[in-house]
Structure 1
Amino acid sequence: MSFLPPWLGLLLVLLALGALAAGVLLRGLRSQGQAVGIAEQSRTNRDIHQQHLADLDRALAEGRLTALQHQAARDELLRHLLDDSARADEHPAAAVPARWLWMVGALVLLSGLSYVQLGAPQTWWPVPLSQQVKISATTPEQLTEQTRVWQEATQKRPEDAQAWLTLARLHAAQNAHAPAEQALARVLALSPEPDLWIERAQMKALSAGGVYAGEPWQWIQDVLRTQPQHLNALVLAGSAALSEKRHAAAQGYWQRALALVPADSEAAQGLQQALSQAAEMAQAVGVQASSASLADDTRPLIQGEVRVSPEVQSQIGAGSTLFVYALAEEGSRRPVAIWRGTPTAWPVRFALSDSMGMGAPPVLSSLAQVRLVARISKTGSAQKQEGDFQVELPGVKTGVQGVVLHITGR
Structure 2
Amino acid sequence: MIDLWLVAGLLLLAALAFILVPVLRGQRAQAEEDRTALNVALYEERVRELETQHAAGTLTDEQLAAGKAEAGRELLVDTEGDAQRHGNLGRAVPIAAAVLVPVLGLALYLHWGASDKLELARQFDHQPASMEEMVARLEQAVKAQPDGVEGWYFLARGYMAMERPAEAANAFERTVALAGRDPSLLGQWAQALYFANGQQWSEQIQGLTDEALQSDPGEVTSRGLLGIVAFEAGRYRDAIEHWEFLMNGLDPQDPNRMAIAQGIQRAREMLGEAAPAASADEAPVEMRVRVELAPNVAGQVQPEDSVFIFARPAAGEAMPLAVKRLKVADLPAEVILSDADAMMEQLRLSNFPQVELVARVSRSGNATAGEWIGRSGAVSSTEDRLQSLRIDQPEKR
Q: TM-score if structure 2 supplies the norm length?
A: 0.35
Larger Rg: 2
Q: TM-score if structure 1 supplies the norm length?
A: 0.34
